[in-house]
Structure 1
Amino acid sequence: MGSTEHDHSPPRLPPRWFVRAFWAGHRLLCRVSGGRAGLSRPRPGKYGMLRLHTVGRRTGKPRAVILAYFEDGPNLVLLAMNGWGDPPPAWWLNLSDRPEARVDLVGEQRSVRAREAQGEERERLWARWGDYSKSTEELNGFAALRSRRTPVVVLEPKT
């Protein structure tokens, strides 16, 4: 585990039922509004929200989830955390099996290919996530809640 992730005591999270209910409501809002509500572009100090479409690794069925992201050149950057819970999120397991996916952004759709950032790139992108949290210290505190290193996921445009 990187020392940048686990240097501080973890903050308190809301109850798991609350996190799940919030995201279910967010997905519903996005779905019923046709994406006009619930998706946003990143701006200084605030991450954006996108809808990621994957294929279930066990079922082969389409799956969709709304996630926070920021842009790094043409790439979109996500954190593979499960409400900061310990298990990996299903969307990341799906992408690990089938990295081709589609994203809905405000006013556009993109075909992408996912990969996990490694080494220096990962450290750079992790530090940038601190710009979209209250602080890097807070981000590191949340990461400390997990027994495994939080993957930084890069969605590259599929050409």
Structure 2
Amino acid sequence: MPKPPAPTSPFWKLQRQLARFNTFLFRKTGGKVGGSFFGGAPVLLLNHVGRKSGQSRTSPLIYVDDSPRLVVIASKGGVDAHPAWFHNLMAMATTEVELPGGERRQVRPRVAEGAERARLWERAVAIYKPYAAYATYTEREIPVVVLESADATPAE
């Protein structure tokens, strides 16, 4: 199976530049531009803080609207490592996401498991088919992250 490029490769540097450009367009247009990914998959902006740097970061991510919750997939981190944004997010009690149209929500992350994960994974793959292909060449189970309202009582 082919392995994804190393996070320091020119490919990943280009990915980071494109993510910054997408974030700029998203914010400038209220999500009219940059609010969807290839094939029309909807995008939100996840605001988080780097665990090591302490710097604010924003990651444009494909999401599933599982109203009132939002769902994101921690895909492209590496063959055996989750992406940095996933680790940053899980280290935070709450954070903010920006949705197309300018809506901002305070959310609390948790990782879906079991039947819930399977159901949400299928919905995510239906929205963005490359998730399924990526899952075949990574050595890790790709986390499905549920973003619940920070005002709601956490699920047990």
Residue aligning to 2:14:
21
Say whether the 8 Å CA contact 1:78–1:153 is kept in structure 2: yes
Alignment of 1:57-72 (within 5 A): 57-72=51-66
The unaligned stretches of length 5 or more in structure 1 are: 1-9
Q: Does 1:144 align with 2:145?
A: no
Say whether the 8 Å CA contact 2:110–2:146 is kept in structure 1: yes
**Identical amino acids, percent of aligned pairs:** 37
Residue aligning to 2:110:
115
The unaligned stretches of length 5 or more in structure 2 are: 152-156
> TM-score by structure 1 length?
0.76
The structure-2 alpha-carbon separation of the partners of 1:142 and 1:117, relative to structure 1 and needing over 3 Å to count, comes to same
Say whether the 8 Å CA contact 1:11–1:141 is kept in structure 2: no
Query: Aligned pairs, how many?
Result: 144
**Separation of aligned partners in 2, 1:140 and 1:33:** 26
Residue aligning to 2:125:
130
Q: Residue type matched to 1:127 in 2? A: E
Residue aligning to 1:6:
none
Q: Residue type matched to 2:14 in 1? A: A
RMSD: 2.6
Give the structure, 1 or 2, with the largest relative contact order (CA under 8 Å, sep 6 or more). Answer: 1
The structure-2 alpha-carbon separation of the partners of 1:157 and 1:92, relative to structure 1 and needing over 3 Å to count, comes to same
Q: Residue type matched to 2:132 in 1? A: N
The structure-2 alpha-carbon separation of the partners of 1:13 and 1:97, relative to structure 1 and needing over 3 Å to count, comes to closer
